[in-house]
Chain A
């Protein structure tokens, strides 16, 4: 037990009476792991971004901000940002909208087997991305993929989805939405379940119909959940990599080359490690800004409503 001595202002006395030795022992393993594989690398990536290094020659050349200057002058970089932004916007917006609508239906008290439905919609979230991407390749196969089969049955022409410059990105997005929907649904549902019934009862007395109740009561009350889901969705989409790597490797041309892919290709195909580090720094800054926003608006780890 700690004995609080209010009178002691001596730092050393306080230190001796604290649990410093136990704390050090308990924290040491975590400190080492996080230090070596988080703090040191993030410092290292900033340092490396000021060098030109091809990974083969031992010599790194200090080139100051040249990597960043070249990056900001590179059309391919801006293209990757544009592709990532489009992906992020569509996947986040659609998965939020569908997640909210489905959550409202799942929250209806007349619904039978709520947890069954919830599990079904959540399955894609726990499905390995690589495995899901394999199925996507098959679903969108130009010859016998289910999507083209259905389109042809409707009298439309099928497409070569993943090889088409216009349609490759929407195809990748569809996988992103499929994988994200369950997550937004679950968090919206949890938030809906915590809402007070009173709002709805008084609205019903006022004669508001279901759509009006949804737009004027549900949506505003879910504001903080929505903000959190937007920020988490933006971070998640901005870092998308696995499904792009498996589905298209950024192609055709650079139609699906998201920034994660662009970083990977420069760093681990071309082995331009300094340049790759500069891209990493840009990714870090964007994610850090959105994470700080989340902590500012939502706080750590509160999925439910803040009110």
Chain B
């Protein structure tokens, strides 16, 4: 809309029209290359079984929605969805609570060793998951947590990145708000949930989005600790399914579409908050 107004306000010179045309000529093919995998996945998922080898076409001309039903019957995708949802919701909820508490402590409370402890927390961001995976795996084994929800949830209940993200947001709110709440007799607990978190709801939502994507796309950790048919999360389930039905491309792509759709929809719905969170923090790779 802004642009239309700008275009209207300024005379459209041939030079500007040419620029717009050149941009379209560059960006349309570039976006096409980036988006072709989605199109190919979708088209294949709707093909009639056994016709994948025929001369290929990019846009669907058959609509075999039965493939989705077949894929869902061949593997317990509903179970995978349910498992992933349980894990994702639990991780989001616990991160909202625990990271908010920790961020509040680092942002507003005064106690000896605060900076040192904050630095120690941040230090965990330089520990790659693969460096701690063997001992973590052994802990889960000693707790006898293999193939349980705890194994997928508890290690991920809080992380330094979420705490950091919220702490940076919290310190930017005017200190007066908090002081006023405290003078009114709010406890720290009440001040956190009634003042600080509502004022920073955008950052909390961004953090929740990151947590969701993380849980939905997670693969290596579930592969190690929860690889039973009943406990598999969606990405793991998809891979096992693909291994079993290797040549059934139509079913395989139907399964892939169902494993991909939710994060894409969620991102498109919340892209503004997502991208601004990413550019503000810039830390998440």
B40-A146 in contact (CB<8A): yes
The answer to whether B34 touches A120, judged by C-beta atoms less than 8 angstroms apart, is yes
User: Which of these, B34, B52, B135, contacts A45 with CB under 8 Å?
Assistant: B135
Q: Is A300 touching B122 in the complex (CB atoms < 8 A)?
A: yes
Pair B53/A143 contact, Cβ less than 8 Å:
yes
Tell me the A193-251 residues at the B interface (CB within 8 Å).
228, 232-233, 235-236, 239, 241-242, 245-246
* Per-position 1/0 for B220-254, Cβ under 8 A of A: 10001000000000111011001000000100110
Q: B3: which A residues are within 8 A, CB to CB?
A: 109, 111-112, 114
CB distance from A51 to the nearest CB of B (A): 11
Is B116 in the interface zone, CB < 8 Å from A?
Answer: no
Q: CA A11 – CA B281 in complex, angstroms?
A: 36
> A190 contacts the other chain (Cβ, under 8 Å)?
yes
Q: Please, how many angstroms separate the alpha-carbon atoms of A110 and B101 in the complex?
A: 45
Most buried by A among B36, B126, B134: B134
The answer to whether B256 and A134 touch across the interface, beta carbons within 8 angstroms, is: yes
B23 CB to nearest A CB, Å? 5
Taking a contact as CB atoms under 8 Å apart, the answer to whether A26 and B282 are in contact is: no
Determine whether B30 belongs to the interface, using a CB cutoff of 8 Å to chain A: yes
Given A19-B110, A119-B268, A123-B38, are A128 and B235 also a contact pair (CB < 8 Å)?
Answer: yes
Q: How far is the CA of A129 from the CA of B213 in the complex (A)?
A: 11
Chain A residues with CB under 8 A of B260: 127-128, 131-132
Question: A139 CA to B43 CA in the complex, in Å?
Answer: 12
Please indicate the chain B residues that have their CB under 8 angstroms from the CB of A26 in the complex.
101-102, 104-105, 109, 188
Q: A30-B99, A111-B27 are in contact. List 20 more A-B contacts (CB 8 A).
A: A26-B101, A26-B104, A26-B105, A30-B158, A37-B139, A38-B132, A41-B132, A120-B35, A122-B271, A126-B267, A186-B279, A190-B279, A232-B283, A241-B220, A268-B137, A273-B138, A287-B127, A300-B164, A301-B165, A301-B283
What are 18 A-B pairs with beta-carbon distances under 8 A? A20-B111, A23-B109, A26-B104, A30-B121, A41-B135, A44-B134, A110-B23, A117-B27, A123-B267, A126-B274, A134-B238, A134-B239, A134-B242, A135-B37, A139-B40, A186-B275, A273-B134, A301-B280
Task: Report which B residues bind A (CB closer than 8 A).
Answer: 3, 6, 16, 19-20, 23, 26-27, 30-31, 34-38, 40-41, 44, 52-54, 56, 58, 98-99, 101-102, 104-105, 109-112, 114, 117, 121-122, 124-139, 154-155, 157-160, 163-165, 168, 179, 182-183, 188, 213, 216-217, 219-220, 224, 234-236, 238-239, 242, 249, 252-253, 256, 259-260, 263-264, 266-268, 271-272, 274-275, 278-283, 285
Could you tell me which A residues sit within 8 Å of B by CB distance?
1-2, 11, 14-15, 18-20, 22-24, 26-27, 29-30, 33-34, 36-42, 44-45, 48, 102, 105-106, 108-112, 114-115, 117-124, 126-132, 134-139, 143-144, 146, 149, 178, 181-183, 186-187, 190, 228, 232-233, 235-236, 239, 241-242, 245-246, 260, 263-264, 267-268, 273, 276-277, 280-281, 283-284, 287-288, 291-292, 300-304
